[in-house]
Structure 1
């Protein structure tokens, strides 16, 4: 079978802090009024996307990865490397941290670590999030946590639509109430909660915390990278590259005509349409994408084109040698 772009059906995940903003923004038919996460491009067993078009309709992206490995390019990874989500924080998320690859492999049954990044799509007036901490030693960090001194420990930053933040493994973080964002992350579902505001779940029980593991993996002192977006003007599109690491590269394409998506000659790309509409055109055909659609463009001989007027987030797999951002931030590779 020849490779072709896959239109994907996302999965929706109920969360205690979720809401209905994803229906308002993208017209999704949500299965619950407490939807916190849309797993838009996912080959994770906890919520794989389903193919909606072509001969593979009805198969999951996990199935495609297993059966048509060459479609995804020459990757060394033993699993699909990315997970793209939309997140609706109708309330504050827990304060949390994610492990790096080495720690996760050792302690989480071989699951990879989790570095991630966020593009803010919507933010209520005054919205902010937790991004880093003030402790200078691990002992100081542990003491603040033991005494519940969260206001002294946590660093909060205001955000607005269009902001982009890179959240490498080891970063203490929490998405704040009133924020909707698109997240590109490693294909991992490992989260260690430090603090959850003493909330209780639907059964009245406190949600579990993972303080010991969190203390193992938090980067101390905090090292929050500065993102410097790079803009290039191409025929048919303006492209903003936000981040390029060994785990992923993320770009935002403002398409205003016909733009070449040449990268898919050698690597797959995950596309999320934030606004407008465009065709993905390749030698074998074309696929129409509208606002709220998500697609996986595999490796295609001759590449592909985006044709139309649209606001598109494009995510690519990273490469082992691309650790420039971590190096600039003074972090050793995972």
Structure 2
């Protein structure tokens, strides 16, 4: 049995809207002051995380998924890609307005394994920060007409957010993260994005980024649907668990630890991001120091584990 966590090294992505909070807040060694994303638990070919410890040190998560499927309770006839991707995004400027396809469209039209349903836990937000979630069109024709005419203020729905908010973004939902917001994103393992509007921005060479209006209109849910999801809270003396969402693709919970707890693992494997504080993870006689900015997987076969300290975690599973 593999009796230790799988710690992962983030992969960083420079973006036109990125900043430097991934360094100043999380102490990551970022490539520039326009670093927008840290892919912190990833087996996606566009940015696979590298394992930092144990017998698989130096391998990517994708390689571990392929060659050591038992760590994820993966059946021998499962030829699908690793299903999930976790990121931290630093929006130093507004992200483009975009939409993602569902599994069927992604597979049939783009030839990739997964569409993209995602969710955001707001780690930080400057006062008055807003994001875009949904639209006001009642028909596909109205959506296409408003997009063609550039009626963005009329079309797009905006909401204010603050640290600790949770936002669920099913595939087909028009959305954008606004300036001044840092989020932890849990999503299907997909990099398939259709850009709807980019504020007419240009890059260093004066070029505007490509838009994908035809595909965006094809995959957008019309009219906009506000997703329903039930949040459940479990409170004990030392650990507060709040299930944020559970759907066909993933479950996500927020854990607040203040003391010492023993947990039994019920999922095939757990993805864990330490978003605040520090503590100790114990697996039998083994102890592992954990702190804000660390990300790890508890592999299949670990039945019980212990946590001690004062920390907050975003935990996800298939």
* CA separation of 1:28 and 1:103: change in aligned 2, threshold 3 A: same
Shift of 1:233: 1.2
Where do 1:253-272 residues align within 5 Å? 253-263=255-265, 265-272=266-273
The CA distance in 2 between the partners of 1:74 and 1:11, in whole Å, is 24
The CA distance in 1 between the partners of 2:112 and 2:314, in whole Å, is 29
TM-score by length of 2: 0.95
Shift of 1:24: 1.6
Deviation digits for residues 198-239 of structure 1 (CA, Å, limit 9, x no counterpart): 111233211011111111100000002245432111353110
Where do 1:226-265 residues align within 5 Å? 226-234=228-236, 236-263=238-265, 265=266
Equivalent residue, structure 1, for 2:73:
73
Equivalent residue, structure 1, for 2:150:
148
Where do 1:1-334 residues align within 5 Å? 2-74=2-74, 78-234=80-236, 236-263=238-265, 265-283=266-284, 285-317=286-318
Deviation digits for residues 23-47 of structure 1 (CA, Å, limit 9, x no counterpart): 1211112111100000000011111
Alignment RMSD: 1.5
Comparing 281-290 and 84-93, the one that deviates more = 281-290
The CA distance in 2 between the partners of 1:269 and 1:262, in whole Å, is 11
Aligned length: 316
The question of whether the paired residues in 2 share the 8 Å contact of 1:117 and 1:165 is answered with: yes
Shift of 1:77: 6.8
TM-score by length of 1: 0.91
Which structure 1 residue ranges, 5 or more long, are not aligned? Answer: 318-334
The question of whether the paired residues in 2 share the 8 Å contact of 1:93 and 1:175 is answered with: yes
The CA distance in 2 between the partners of 1:266 and 1:77, in whole Å, is 20
The CA distance in 1 between the partners of 2:294 and 2:302, in whole Å, is 24
The question of whether the paired residues in 2 share the 8 Å contact of 1:99 and 1:170 is answered with: yes
Structure 2 SS opposite 1:131 = strand
The question of whether the paired residues in 1 share the 8 Å contact of 2:2 and 2:299 is answered with: no
Structure 1 SS opposite 2:215 = helix
* CA separation of 1:122 and 1:241: change in aligned 2, threshold 3 A: same
Comparing 31-40 and 67-76, the one that deviates more = 67-76
The question of whether the paired residues in 2 share the 8 Å contact of 1:111 and 1:190 is answered with: no
Structure 1 SS opposite 2:25 = helix
The question of whether the paired residues in 2 share the 8 Å contact of 1:92 and 1:174 is answered with: yes
Shift of 1:281: 1.7
Deviation digits for residues 222-260 of structure 1 (CA, Å, limit 9, x no counterpart): 002245432111353110110011111111111122223
The CA distance in 2 between the partners of 1:94 and 1:163, in whole Å, is 21
The question of whether the paired residues in 1 share the 8 Å contact of 2:229 and 2:246 is answered with: no
Which structure 2 residue ranges, 5 or more long, are not aligned? Answer: none
